[in-house]
Amino acid sequence: MKEALKEFIKQQIVVDTRSSWIYIGVLENVLDGALELSEADVHENKDTASTKDVYVNESRKTGGIANRDRVFINLDFVVSFSPLEDVKNF
């Protein structure tokens, strides 16, 4: 997965995790055990009525709202990732 991620450095990506947390931001670096995102929207979906898919879809439409300048995500918790532009409208 690390090699595939490196292809998207400097692009806005969505990172799905094993938890209720979702991350949207610009991939800056792929480290040994973590991802570094800048201008990141760190969102816990547990306390909202919408699903992760609805939240990501709305973020794609609006461009997202960064609430962190920089964040590091433990790769052990990453389930999947994709460029934000690849999120389908529904």
Comparison of pLDDT for 57 and 38, the residue scoring more: 38
Closest CA to 44 of 5, 17, 82, 74: 17
Q: Could you tell me if 33 and 76 are in contact, meaning their C-beta atoms sit under 8 angstroms apart?
A: yes
Separation of alpha carbons 32 and 67, rounded Å: 25
The model's pLDDT over 6-45, given as tens digits with 9 standing for 90+, comes to: 999 999 999 999 998 999 999 999 999 999 999 999 999 8
The domain 2-86: what is its CATH number? 2.30.30.100
In this structure, what token pair is assigned to residue 47? Answer: 């306390």
> pLDDT at position 1, please?
81
Full-model pTM: 0.90
